[in-house]
Structure formats: structure tokens, C-alpha cells
């Protein structure tokens, strides 16, 4: 309703440009990036876990930073560069993290995995060789209930060439 007729919003999603004629719902209310990805663009690897910004299941990368798609309004995407798990890699050209997660079998139900991989990918963009502590700190807001934390840390280390699978994790620090 409060969207001008000639409104267009442009951003890049998984290296493709997207143009929207409206950022809002028919009643003029804000819509989340998560809703756009899952329900309009058919990109479902980004998951709805709480819609309250508390679980990290909807983590994607915006301009190199990990963000929560459930808390990001479409209106704020003008000019942004968004990457989701689908854009990170695929079966033919997997991202090193995807290769490592498969190698280590770092998942069980896999529901939190997409968000964890995206946050790890953002971490590796800024810090190519993170320590265990840095990985743990980065992933602090991503919840996992199946309890594959140890495998995830191994996989991220493996992807950053800090570890071969036969290695043991370095001793962790005390609290």
C-alpha cells in the first residue's frame, strides 16, 4: 500500500540478480528474507526453527556476514549480496565445508546443519585458519539438539586444512 508503483528492489542471491516489485505483503507489512527464500524462491535449505532469532537454523550470508534470515526484512536487501546453502556449493562443486561435513558425517537429523555451515563459511571468509575456540565462539548462537558439536568442529577444522580426519582435536581450554 505504501509501496510506490514504480518500486523495484534489486539484490544478488547466490550470484544471480533478483528484482522484486514489492518488498512487503499485500497489506503493506514487512516480510522476512526467510519467507521470501522458502515460500517464493523455493530455496528451502534455509530453515525455520524459531522465527525469534534464537536458534540459528536460518543463518545465511549477507555481504560476507552471517545473518538470521528470520530477522532480516526484505526491504533491507537493496544492493545486498546474499548466499544460501544452495549457493555455497553443490554435488558437482561442493564448498570445502560441505566436503568436510560429509567426510566427518557431522550431522544426524541435519536440520541445524544448513545454518551451521553458513555461519562457518562466513567465519572462514574472515579467518581462514580458525582455532577451536574461535569456531566455538562463532557457532555459539547456532543450536544443535542431536549433539554433533564435536564433529562439526572437526569438519570446520578439516575444511580450513587445520586437521586431517585421523587427527585428534587439540585440547580445549578450561572455562
Partner 1 sequence: MISETSLPSNTRPLSPSVLANLKKSPTVRDWLDISACGEVQIHTGKVEIGQGILHAMASIASSQLSLSPHQIKVMAANTLRSPDEAVTSGSLSIQDSGATLQQVCAQVRVRSINAFAKQYAVTIKDVVLEEGFLQAGEHRAPLVSFITTSILDEAVSLEPWDPKQPNIGLKQSDNPKLEETQRRPDLAQKVLGEFEYIQDILKPQMLWGLVLHPRTLKGQLIKESFKAFESFALQITGVTQVVHDAALVGVLAKSEQALSRCNAYLELHTLWDESRSELPSELQNNQVLASWLRSQPLQSQSITPEGVGDYSTARTLNAPNAPNPSKTQSDSADGALSVKATFTRPYVQHASIGLCTALGHWQGEGEERRLLVITHSQGIYNLRRDLGLAFGLPSQNIHVQHHPGAGCYGHNGADDVAYDAAWLAQFAPEHWVRVQWRRSDELGLSPMSPAMAVEISATASPSGQLLSWETDIWSQGHGTRPGRESSPALLGAWQVDQSSHAAPILVAINAPLQSGGGAERNAVPLYTIPQWAVHNHRVLSTPVRVSALRSLGGHVNVFALESVMDMLAQSLKMDPLTFRLNNLTDPRAIAVLKEVANMSQWSLQQEKQQGERQDSEGWGLGFAKYKNTGAYCAVVAQVVVSESVRVKSLYICADVGHVVHDDGAKNQIEGGAVQSMSLTLLEQAQLGPEGVISKDWEHYPIAKFGQTPQISVSLIDPQQSPSVGAGECSIGPTAAAIANAVSQAISARIYNMPLNAENLLKGLES
DSSP conformation class of 76: G
Please report whether residue 174 would count as binding partner 1 according to CB under 8 A.
Answer: yes
Tell me which of 61, 66, 69, 152 binds partner 1, using CB under 8 A: 152
Give one DSSP letter per residue of 1-14, joined into a string. Answer: --S-TT--EEEEET
Distance CA 171, CA 175 (A): 13
Please report whether residue 41 would count as binding partner 1 according to CB under 8 A.
Answer: no
Neighbours of 81 (CB within 10 A): 14
Tell me which of 13, 60, 101, 157 binds partner 1, using CB under 8 A: 101
Tell me which of 35, 41, 75, 80 binds partner 1, using CB under 8 A: 35
Residue span 104-143 as binding mask against partner 1, x where in contact by CB under 8 A, dash where not: -x-xxxxxxxx--x-----------------xxx-xxxxx
Partners of 20 in the beta sheet?
A: 9
| 149-152 contacts, C-beta under 8 A, 24 or more apart | 151/104, 151/105, 151/106, 151/107, 152/101, 152/106, 152/116, 152/120
| Residues 30 and 73: beta-carbon distance below 8 Å | yes
Please report whether residue 167 would count as binding partner 1 according to CB under 8 A.
Answer: no
Please report whether residue 52 would count as binding partner 1 according to CB under 8 A.
Answer: yes
Residue closer to partner 1, measured from CB, 79 or 139? 139
Interaction site with partner 1 (CB under 8 A)? 25-27, 29, 31-32, 35, 38-39, 44-45, 47-52, 54-55, 57, 84-86, 88-91, 94, 98, 101-102, 105, 107-114, 117, 135-137, 139-153, 168-169, 171-172, 174-175
Amino acid at each position: 500500500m505504501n509501496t510506490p508503483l514504480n518500486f523495484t528492489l534489486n539484490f544478488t542471491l547466490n550470484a544471480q540478480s533478483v528484482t522484486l516489485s514489492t518488498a512487503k505483503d499485500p497489506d503493506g507489512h514487512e516480510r522476512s528474507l526467510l519467507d521470501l527464500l522458502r515460500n517464493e524462491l523455493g530455496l528451502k535449505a534455509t530453515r525455520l526453527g524459531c522465527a525469534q532469532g534464537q536458534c540459528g537454523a536460518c543463518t545465511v550470508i549477507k555481504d560476507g556476514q552471517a545473518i538470521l534470515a528470520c530477522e532480516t526484512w526484505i526491504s533491507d536487501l537493496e544492493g545486498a549480496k546474499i548466499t544460501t546453502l544452495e549457493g555455497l556449493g553443490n554435488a558437482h562443486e561442493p564448498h570445502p565445508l560441505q566436503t568436510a561435513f560429509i567426510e566427518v558425517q557431522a550431522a544426524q537429523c541435519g536440520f541445524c546443519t544448513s545454518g551451521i555451515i553458513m555461519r562457518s563459511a562466513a567465519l572462514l571468509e574472515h579467518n581462514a585458519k580458525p582455532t577451536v575456540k574461535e569456531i566455538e565462539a562463532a557457532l555459539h548462537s547456532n543450536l544443535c539438539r542431536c549433539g554433533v558439536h564435536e564433529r562439526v568442529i572437526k569438519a570446520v577444522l578439516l575444511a580450513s586444512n587445520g586437521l586431517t580426519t585421523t587427527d585428534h582435536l587439540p585440547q580445549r581450554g578450561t572455562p
